[in-house]
Structure formats: C-alpha cells, structure tokens
A = this chain, B = another copy of it.
Amino acid sequence: MNFEVEQKHFVEDSTALLRRLASRGVTLGPVIAQADQYFNHPCRDFAQTDEALRIRTEDCTSFVTYKGPKLDATTKTRRELELPLASGHAEFAELLTALGFKRVTTVRKSRRPFELVHLGQTVHGAWDEVDGLGTFVELELSADEAGVNEAKHVIASLAEELQLGPSERRSYLELLLAIRK
C-alpha cells in the first residue's frame, strides 16, 4: 500500500514566497489545467468519512483517484489509489452515476509543479491557483508504510524553512463547499 504524505498552505504573499523558492533554486514548471470532478458515495457521506473519489482530467488524459481517510492531524497522510482511465472521463462518470455515486462539484485549478531536495529527499511541490479560492502551495512525498514518519518530518521541516505558516488540512473541495454554504 502506498501513502501520500502531503501538506498544503494558503499563500498570502505570493511575491515573497516565490522569492524564497527562487533562493533555493526552485523554478516553477509549466501550467497544467486540472479539472477534478468529485463524487459522493451512494450510501456513505465522504464528507463524514473523510474519503474522496474524483475523476481528474488534465489535457487529454483522465485518472480516477480514491483517497482514504486522513491518518493524522498535521499532514494529509492517507491511502491513495490512482488508475488511468482508458475510456475517457465521461464514460467513467456515467458508470459511477449508474452505480449510485452522486456528482458533488468540479474543482478547477492551474497547477505549476516544482521539485526541491530537502534532507536528502526529493519533495514534489505544486503551486496551485484554484478557481474561487486563491493560491496554495502543496508539498508531497510518497512513502510506503515504513517511511511515513520520516516523510512527515521532511515535509514539516521544509514548510517551516519556507515560512509557510499553518497548514490547511481541508481539501479544495471542502474549502469550496464551505464557502458556498
């Protein structure tokens, strides 16, 4: 089983953070337009169980992703399954709907990936401009079960060095739904 150790931060001052990243030699990658279509379960409420099921479309490719409940308070460590879709997102959305899954909403963002070596590990970062929410930075490491604690330590240490402030545990989906309430 693979775990995604992930921490996300709202960016109040883009200019200052871009400067700190640049001083560590980081350049942001090209913009990827992502549309994430979220679904709720036919008989359990993913908002309550802290799970997520989405179809992500970037350019011409689509993936289905399942995220299990978060396992601890600071980082967003959780079980994650991601499968490429050979069929396209519309067909898979039709299958989910036939099985009773309900469309919740679509989160759209421009993502610019970056990489950064910290404490000997290559951390994957994302500079996200999310429609309706603003700018966020995500830091992520993949780890197997034995490597989760070390990965959490690396991410937390990097966040502190970059002065990212408090982490945001809620997903973009949760933030968007909270605003709309």
The interface of chain A, by Cβ under 8 A from chain B, is 41-44, 53, 64, 66, 68, 79, 81, 83-87, 91-92, 94-95, 98-100
- Shortest CB distance A99–B (Å): 7
B66→A81 contact, CB < 8 A: no
Given known A-B contacts A86-B83, A87-B84, A91-B83, A98 and B68 have beta carbons under 8 A apart: yes
- Residues of B near A91 (CB, < 8 A) are 81, 83
Q: State in angstroms the CA–CA spacing of A37 and B41 once bound together.
A: 22
Complex Cα distance, B80 from A98, in Å, reads: 10
Q: How far is the CA of A68 from the CA of B98 in the complex (A)?
A: 8
- Measured in the bound complex, the distance between the Cα atoms of B65 and A5 in whole Å is 33
In whole angstroms, what is the CA distance A64 to B83 when docked?
A: 13
**Which single member of B66, B85, B99 contacts A53 (CB below 8 Å)?**
B99
Let me know if B64 and A81 touch, CB within 8 A: no
Chain B residues near A98 (CB, 8 Å)? 66, 68, 79, 81
The 8 Å CB contact of A86, one of B66, B79, B86, is B86
Across-interface contacts of A86 in B (CB, < 8 A):
83-86
Among the interface residues A64, A66, A83, A85, which one has the most CB atoms of the partner chain B within 10 A?
A: A83
